[in-house]
Structure formats: structure tokens, C-alpha cells
Structure 1
Amino acid sequence: MKLVNEHVFVTGGANGIGAAIVLDAAQNGAKVSFCDLAVDAGKKYEKELTEKGFNVFFHQGDVANFDNLKIAFDAMVAKFGPVTGVVNNAGVNSNADPVEMTNDQWNRFFDVDLKSVWHTAKLALPEMRKAKKGAIVNIASIHARMSFPKFFPYAAAKSGVIGLTRNLALDEGINNIRTNAVSPGYTLTPLLESWFQTQPAKRAESMAVQPLGRMAQTSEIAKVVTFLLSSDASFVNGADWIVDGGLHARFA
């Protein structure tokens, strides 16, 4: 119960890694609020976890739109009090052609995958600074270091997430606010499964290069996140935790 008395806010918490983080944080004693654009899935998950006795709260929220996100954030604070931990998990893939991609598509993608980290910081940092306490965990990706053809400009956004992690760690450390990133490798999420469905041969190719002979479960990513949110990680700041089963160590 390493997160007792904490209020953890998770973006993109209705599915995949985000849902696993919501569950693990709640299992560790936190009050957990989460937002998502998948309203039906979010409400269903909130009901499921509440019936199991966990303190969770869902509110529709678009991380790309600050005003919309603030409505969700304010409702969460009204429910559970000041946010002490933030997990920036919401994100989308991009498989754009650099010539065909439109300006609007570019802006929407970066608003979700990168700008949203700034949005949550604007919302959560004032109270964290007052309390002289807080933890932020940004979900990046191994794509920040190495990428894959036809993923433009996904790697740029995830590299930016790690850059913002460094900035926040250096600027807010004096306030006892720690900021870290987690970079998952292949993780069995609905997003990954949908990609495999469009390119079936890639599943076997992806499995063949896994040093542990398997891909990650979402719960394995979540456990690293909740560690970084907790006081067990009290001197971990500005780090990027690669959780990919050793994939980054493999020679191409």
C-alpha cells in the first residue's frame, strides 16, 4: 500500500497501459482519477473498480484541449483533493507520410502526444509547489531512441516527452517534485493488437526479436510507474526507465 493518502491522476486511463496503471495505483492505496475520450469504457471501468472497493473516479477529458482537460481536472480535485501524482499516459500512434500529412493532422498529433504533458503540468504543479511534494511520470516509448519505418513523426513526439521530463525534473526538483519517464517496448495493448491485425506478419517478426521470448503485459509497465510515483523512488528524478525486456540492448 505504498500510495496510501495519494491522489493519482492518470490520462488515457480507460484502456491498455493506462487502465493497468489505474488498477495498480488503486491496489496500492491511492485515490485514482482518470480521464479518457473513450467515455463508455471509462465509465464501465470506474464502475467495475468501485464495486471492488477501490477509490476511483472517471471524467471525460481531452488532453489536447487545455480548457476541456481543466474541467475534468477540477472535477477530480473536487472529488479527491489536490493531485499528488500525475501519469501522462494518453497518446496515439502516427503512421503519416511526411508529404501527405496535413498541418491539422500534425498539430492534433503533437497536441495529444507531447503538448498534453505541459497541460497536466500547468494544472497540477501549483498545488504540488505549495505542498512541496509531487511526482510526475510521463509514458514515453523506446521509439524515442530507435524507431520503425512508417511511424512518422511518432519518434519525435516521444523524444520530446523525454525532453520535457528533463526540464520538469530540473525546474521542479527544488520543490521536491520528481519527474520521470517510462519507455515501454512491445506491450500487449489494444493499440498494439490493432496494429498487428493490419500487419499480421509483424507479430511473428516482433516476437522473434524479444530477448525474453515474449512481450510485456500492461501490468508489468504499471508496476514500474507506481514505483516511480511512490516514496520508494524518493531519489529518482529526471530518469527514463526503459521497460522493454532488453530489446534496446539488441544489435539490429
Structure 2
Amino acid sequence: MAGEDEGPVALVIGGASGIGEATADELAQQGWRVVVADRDTEGAERVATRIGKTGPAAHWVGVDVTSTSSVEAATRDAAERWNRLDAVIPCAGVIDPSPSDALEDDALLRMLDIHLVGTIRCLRAAFPYLREAAEPAIVAISSVAAHIGTPHRLSYAAAKGGVESVVRTLAVEWAPSGIRINAVAPGWVKTPMIATAIDAGRLDASTLEKLSPFERLAEPVEVARAIAFLASPAASYVSGTTLLVDGALTVRGPWPQGVVPPPVRGHRS
């Protein structure tokens, strides 16, 4: 187990819940020291405190990804905590579905500001610290919405498509500095945010489950494991790519009429 002065350092932005929290946990289990950053400072402190009790050292810091000064301050805090920064994972995000013809400018710009521009802010702030690391890595969060048509998700899909373009651009531009940058594109994940939408009747769980050939939503840890791989030296020659973590959702085609798909072993028929 890594101690206070051992192990690489990862900054997980949006680490107070969902995929971010699962990523912080997974990295800690693999020996990383983790800085949990979130606008929800109570949540960030809770996650960091829990990790620090049983795993490597952990720290928390408040951050608002829509503010350049906040992102820069949080990144500086993370890098100076243990005098190094090896990986940055910007996970902050929200959902706000809307019919595209009724999408108002304020809602559109908010989604772009959080998901796309927020990611850019995080990566830009981290660059001077990461280029000093021995094996620096960035893992951004995209979505299957960047790969398939998803009604009522225009602003979200546009932002996530932009994130993947950022990944490709910086993978080439920052390679001379030794920085690898990739993305993961999850399908439907059983996060607190999705659970809240299901409980409120805005999403139907059974419908979402049937979208995947596995007939279930992903667990946050399943996405976190993919992120941890891409952040690790095990992915030392992987850069500029997006790893789909969607249970084959994006490649599933329609079954021919009259053909009943066989039940998934271990699931209800």
C-alpha cells in the first residue's frame, strides 16, 4: 500500500459521486494518491476522508469547472499537495434533456460550458504540471451520445463530440511533452444522477436496460476500471482514442423481424 509520500498522484474532478467517485476509489485501490475535486465540497471531503482511512493518502479541494480561476487554483492545490501530478480525470457533468427545437441559449451554453469548455479548462490548467511528470496521462469523459443519435440530447451530444475532438487534438499536440490523452465513452451507468432521474419518472429503467445486449446498466466501477487502465503505464502507447464502455450498445443492430433474441445467460428471459 502506498503511503503519504509514495505513489503517483491523480486529480479527479467531479469526484464526489458517480463515475468520479468510483474512479477515485479504483485509483486508490491501485496505489494512487488521489485529490478529489468537486463543487460539492462536502461530498469531496467525504470521499477523500473515506479513501484516506483505508488506502493511500487522499486530499480534497473545491472546484467549479465553469470558472477558470477556480480550476487553476484547484489544479495548483492538487499539484503542490505532494509536489507532483501524474494524471487528471475531469468527470464533472450534468444532464438536462430538452427537445432540440425548444433548446434555449442559456441551457445550451451551460451544457457546453460544463462538459466541453470545462474539460478544456481542466486540461489547460494541468498541462504545466503534467509535462513535468514521468508518465503523465489524461482521461476525459465522453459518452455514447457522441456516437449514436440520442433524442433530446443535442447540447450534451455536441459537448461530448467536442470532448473527443479535444482528445484527438491534444494527443498530437502534447505528445512531445510525453502526455497521453484518451477518453472513455460510457453508455447508461447506474449513477446517483441517473437513479434520481429514474425515481422522478424522467427515465424508464427497463427501457434503458433493454438498450444493451447485456440487459443492464453499467456499474460506475466498470467505467472506473477502464479509466484507471488508460491512466496507468499499462496503456503507455495508447493515446488519442476513445474507449467505448457501453456493453455493446452502440454496435447493436436491430434483430430481423420474427427472430427472437436468445436470453442473456444469467439474466431474465
Mark yes or no: TM-score above 0.5: yes
Q: Is the 8 A contact 1:168 1:179 kept in 2?
A: yes
Which residues in structure 2 correspond to 1:1-252 (within 5 Å)? 5-131=7-133, 133-199=135-201, 202-252=204-254
Structure having the higher helix fraction is: 1
For 2:111 and 2:203, how far apart are their aligned partners in 1?
27
SS in 1 for 2:174: helix
Question: Which structure 2 segments of 5+ residues have no match?
Answer: 255-269
> Which one-letter code corresponds to 1:37 in the other structure?
R
> Which one-letter code corresponds to 1:110 in the other structure?
L
Identity level (%): 29
Q: How far off its partner does 1:127 sit? A: 2.5
SS in 2 for 1:248: coil
For 1:209 and 1:107, how far apart are their aligned partners in 2?
29
Q: Is the 8 A contact 1:20 1:222 kept in 2?
A: yes
For 1:249 and 1:219, how far apart are their aligned partners in 2?
22
> Which one-letter code corresponds to 1:111 in the other structure?
D
Could you tell which deviates more after superposition, 43-52 or 233-242?
43-52
SS in 2 for 1:120: helix
Aligned pairs, number = 251
Q: How far off its partner does 1:160 sit? A: 0.5
For 1:33 and 1:201, how far apart are their aligned partners in 2?
32
Q: How far off its partner does 1:151 sit? A: 1.9
Q: How far off its partner does 1:51 sit? A: 1.6
SS in 2 for 1:73: helix
Question: Which structure 1 segments of 5+ residues have no match?
Answer: none
Kindly provide the CA deviation profile for residues 192-242 of structure 1, in whole angstroms up to 9, marking residues without a partner as x: 112222336721111123211222111111111111011100111111100
Q: Is the 8 A contact 1:187 1:218 kept in 2?
A: yes
Q: Is the 8 A contact 1:134 1:178 kept in 2?
A: yes
TM-score relative to the length of structure 2: 0.87
> Which one-letter code corresponds to 2:171 in the other structure?
A
Q: Is the 8 A contact 2:172 2:240 kept in 1?
A: yes
